[in-house]
Amino acid sequence: MDQDALNFDPHVSVDCVILGFDGESLQVLLSRRGNEVPEEQYNNLKLPGRLLHTDEDLDEAALDIITSVTGKHHPLVKQFRAYGSPSRTSNPKDVLWLENAIKQKIGRIVTISYLSLMRINSRTARPKDNDAQLWYPVQDLPSLAFDHNQIIQDTLNELYRMAGQQPQMLFEMMPAKFTAAQLRRLHEQVSGKTLDVRNFAKLVMNKPYIIPLNEWEQNVSHRAARFYRFKP
Amino acid sequence: MDQDALNFDPHVSVDCVILGFDGESLQVLLSRRGNEVPEEQYNNLKLPGRLLHTDEDLDEAALDIITSVTGKHHPLVKQFRAYGSPSRTSNPKDVLWLENAIKQKIGRIVTISYLSLMRINSRTARPKDNDAQLWYPVQDLPSLAFDHNQIIQDTLNELYRMAGQQPQMLFEMMPAKFTAAQLRRLHEQVSGKTLDVRNFAKLVMNKPYIIPLNEWEQNVSHRAARFYRFKP
DNA sequence: CCAAAAGTGTTAAAGTTACACCCATGT
DNA sequence: ACATGGGTGTAACTTTAACACTTTTGG
């Protein structure tokens, strides 16, 4: 090991890209920080995350973060990528913020990012300490702290890739009962392509793990859509 | 950020899984450490890697490590995954080794692993400092330091996945001139399946980026195989 | 002439894509 | 009755998988 590595220990944090789907569009859960920094500063929004605790595995930290901001207990998590550029912490606003939060001089933070998928409901965005959590559509995000916009973009590309191979994972984001159109819109959002309605019905909706229910939409001004559920 | 995170900064290292192919089997480049620990100790072999330097990006560190052990300048590298379990450094032999090398008490090391593919030749395994580098077949590896056996396994699975989507990346591991059988053996090693000779010839060997040469094997006791080269 | 590996096409099956009309409901 | 989105089948095309014999060379 080389000499100039001695005694250099960057901070290590875990940040989570928690994605959900509201039936219309893909959403990401962001933390809005409390009072330390004026509200109007653009980078008051960030991914949920924190420094790694002593004796805590990376996956454990991700699970803990996700559970604490969403209340969901065994969420699907997948480690995605580490970000360690020294310039990550170069924005003065981010530095101010960090030093406020960590109460020490910050040289540099290596972050391990995680992807998590979940259903959006009334419980999946709950205040935690000083922070409030809110779902934002991934199209048209505001500027976020650090390189978090980049992390989200990279993670969406990863989601696209993974969903191509295991489309079942998308059910993590669907409500317990859903219509064919909702599931199709999710596939479309993830892949960025518009899908043929008939082919989608044939190829996806009659997979053995998609169970049609004897329930239909209510009070819609057009033919009511059938509900389905997912059998794991 | 939580209180008990304060002042906890694990070491951060970068380890590289450098894979090559000798025409017969997949190989991984391992470092054999020098004198500090008796030769016969099983975990004298490890992945090439080191602690992260101050002001060095993760990708930079990986490139530097790979270049320094193989001499290759712009190698293909891809970040693969972070490993941060506190139990990574629990083996007493590994602890002894580390404290020898780093000259300080080691609590814990979070490592970022990288995948790199390259051609095996006389220059791609060269001694560096106290360490010697050697290619080992990935089947039948000895026990390595830390969780490096696990890292290699995980990386091979990733290689399998990536090669399924972009088979061109495998050319990084092929010699400049190669036969159809060599390329097929590489595909077989990566996928773990045996491939049909005729289908392989049809589907792979007459891609536009594979150029047949007017050269054939010499002095083989069977019909001589044609050589091909890869056009990027 | 024997052993060993190289080289070469066809056919069936599966999967993917393209495409248009009628249905149910609320206003 | 009309506007809105829901639901359904077929045919062309593309991709993948299965399969066996002849060629070249050295010993």
pLDDT, one tens digit per residue, over B124-173 is 877 777 778 999 999 999 999 999 999 999 999 999 999 999 999 999 99
Chain A residue with Cα closest to B9? A11
Share of chain A above pLDDT 90, in %: 75
A181 touches strand C (CB under 7 A): no
For B22, phi then psi, to 5°, come to -100, 15
Question: Does the pLDDT at position B70 exceed 50?
Answer: yes
pLDDT digits (tens, 9 = 90+) for A165-215: 999 999 999 999 999 999 999 999 999 999 999 999 999 999 999 999 999
What is the average pLDDT score of chain B?
90
Q: Does B231 touch chain A (CB under 8 A)?
A: no
What mean pLDDT is predicted for residues B111-121?
96
The C-alpha of B219 sits at a distance from chain A's nearest C-alpha, in angstroms, of 45
Q: Are A10 and A110 in contact (CB under 8 A)?
A: yes
**Band of residue B4 on the pLDDT scale cut at 50, 70, 90:** very low
B224 to A160, A215, B33, B179, B184: CA distances (angstroms): 45, 68, 42, 10, 16
What mean pLDDT is predicted for residues A39-57?
85
Rounded to two decimals, the pTM is 0.92
Q: Are A57 and B85 in contact (CB under 8 A)?
A: yes
Per the structure, the residues numbered 166 to 205 in protein chain B that have their CB within 7 angstroms of any atom of strand D are 196-199, 202-203
Task: Residue B6: list chain A partners with CB under 8 A.
Answer: 102-104
A2–B53 C-beta distance less than 8 A? yes
Q: Does A79 touch chain B (CB under 8 A)?
A: yes
- Residue from B51, B36, B145 nearest B92 by CA: B145
Q: What is the pLDDT of residue B2?
A: 42
For B76, phi then psi, to 5°, come to -70, 125
Per the structure, the residues numbered 158 to 217 in protein chain B that have their CB within 7 angstroms of any atom of strand C are 179-181, 197-199, 201-202
What mean pLDDT is predicted for residues B76-99?
91
Question: Is the backbone of residue B156 left (phi > 0), alpha (psi -120 to 50) or beta?
Answer: alpha
Question: Does the pLDDT at position A4 exceed 50?
Answer: no
Task: Residue A103: list chain B partners with CB under 8 A.
Answer: 6
B110 touches strand C (CB under 7 A): no
> Which of A8, A67, A88, A113 should one mutate to test binding to chain B, selecting the residue with the greatest count of B CBs within 10 A?
A8
Residue nearest to nucleotide C15 (CA to C1'): A203
Residue nearest to nucleotide D20 (CA to C1'): B198
Helix H or strand E segment including B118: none
Q: How far is CA B28 from the centre of its chain?
A: 5
Residue nearest to nucleotide C4 (CA to C1'): B222
Question: Does the pLDDT at position A87 exceed 90?
Answer: yes
What mean pLDDT is predicted for residues B76-90?
95
Closest in B5, B54, B82 to A50, CB measured: B5
Geometric angle at alpha carbon B75, from B71 and B80, rounded to 5° = 120
Q: Which of A120-124, B29-33, B80-84, B207-211 has the lowest mean pLDDT?
A: A120-124
The C-alpha of B96 sits at a distance from chain A's nearest C-alpha, in angstroms, of 14
Q: What is the pLDDT of residue B39?
A: 57
Here the tokens at position B99 are: 């404290």
A2–B51 C-beta distance less than 8 A? yes
DSSP structural state of residue B88:
G
Cα radius of gyration (chain B): 20
Give residue for tokens 């996700």: A66
Task: Residue B34: list chain A partners with CB under 8 A.
Answer: none
Higher pLDDT, A167 or B96: A167
Question: Does the pLDDT at position A39 exceed 60?
Answer: no
B147 to A1, A118, B120, B153, B215: CA distances (angstroms): 18, 31, 25, 10, 44
Share of chain B above pLDDT 90, in %: 74
Question: Does the pLDDT at position B30 exceed 90?
Answer: yes
Q: Are B48 and B29 in contact (CB under 8 A)?
A: yes
Q: What is the pLDDT of residue A2?
A: 43
**Band of residue B38 on the pLDDT scale cut at 50, 70, 90:** low
Q: Does A71 touch chain B (CB under 8 A)?
A: no
A179 touches strand D (CB under 7 A): yes
Q: What is the pLDDT of residue B104?
A: 75
Q: Does B7 touch chain A (CB under 8 A)?
A: yes
B6 to A40, A54, A146, A202, A223: CA distances (angstroms): 28, 9, 20, 54, 58
What mean pLDDT is predicted for residues A208-226?
97
